[in-house]
């Protein structure tokens, strides 16, 4: 099966876990046996005003600890030849750099050039603040436009299938997937 961001396929959720060094965070996915619902729908779009930025969004169907509705997780992606720059909002607990590494040594090369930063955009959780921060991070750099969507999608799945997985105790119910017609794009 070839995985695509197609607004029809649910994907395992990214999560942030405490890093090996104190005060750091690492990108993980939730282990499949945790029973947590997968993110859905997942969308990818290129920003009209900034064609050097791809925006990936996914609805976290687990909901939140305060009982509010599921929210959009967001990821801005740009490629500058040597570095893949990602600014993301996955959780509402911190702002700072994120370590992205493959759990298998033979796959570490896939993720070696990712520069990821997490930005807490609560309470509004709208993409504008994330996009603004991402544009500041790539300012003055020569970023790729041609093929950006394909690069963003490949990197998304490279991360999804190669970062470590973490067990999570999920006690909520798994909501039914909405139809694609009910899904709303953020851009």
pLDDT digits over 154-164, tens only? 999 999 999 99
pLDDT at 168: 76
Band (pLDDT 50/70/90 cuts) for residue 172 is low
Reply yes or no on whether the pLDDT at 178 is more than 60.
no
CA distances from 26 to 16, 18, 99, 158, 184 (A): 6, 6, 5, 15, 29
Q: How many whole angstroms separate alpha carbon 152 and alpha carbon 170?
A: 29
Choice among 51-55, 93-97, 143-147, 173-177 with the minimum mean pLDDT: 173-177
Choice among 28-32, 33-37, 154-158, 181-185 with the minimum mean pLDDT: 181-185
Reply yes or no on whether the pLDDT at 49 is more than 50.
yes
Q: Is 130 exposed, middle or buried (0-12, 13-18, 19+ CB in 10 A)?
A: buried
The set of residues, in sequence order, having a beta carbon less than 8 Å from that of 127 and lying 6+ positions away, is 55, 57, 72, 74, 121, 186, 187
Q: Where are the domains of the chain?
A: 14-171
pLDDT at 34: 85
């Amino acid at each position: 099966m070839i995985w695509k961001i197609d607004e029809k396929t649910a994907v395992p959720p990214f999560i942030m876990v405490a890093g090996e060094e104190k005060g750091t965070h690492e990108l993980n996915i939730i282990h499949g046996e945790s029973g947590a619902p997968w993110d859905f729908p997942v969308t990818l779009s290129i920003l009209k005003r900034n064609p050097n930025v791809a925006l990936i969004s996914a609805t976290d169907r687990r909901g939140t600890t305060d009982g509010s509705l599921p929210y959009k997780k967001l990821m801005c992606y740009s490629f500058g030849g040597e570095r893949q720059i990602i600014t993301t909002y996955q959780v509402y607990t911190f702002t700072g750099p994120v370590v992205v590494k493959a759990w298998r040594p033979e796959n570490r090369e896939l993720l070696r050039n990712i520069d990821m930063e997490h930005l807490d955009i609560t309470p509004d959780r709208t993409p504008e603040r994330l996009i603004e921060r991402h544009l500041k991070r790539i300012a003055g750099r020569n970023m790729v436009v041609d093929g950006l969507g394909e690069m963003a999608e490949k990197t998304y799945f490279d991360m999804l299938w190669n970062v470590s997985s973490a067990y999570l105790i999920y006690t909520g119910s798994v909501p039914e997937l909405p139809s694609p017609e009910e899904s709303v794009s953020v851009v």
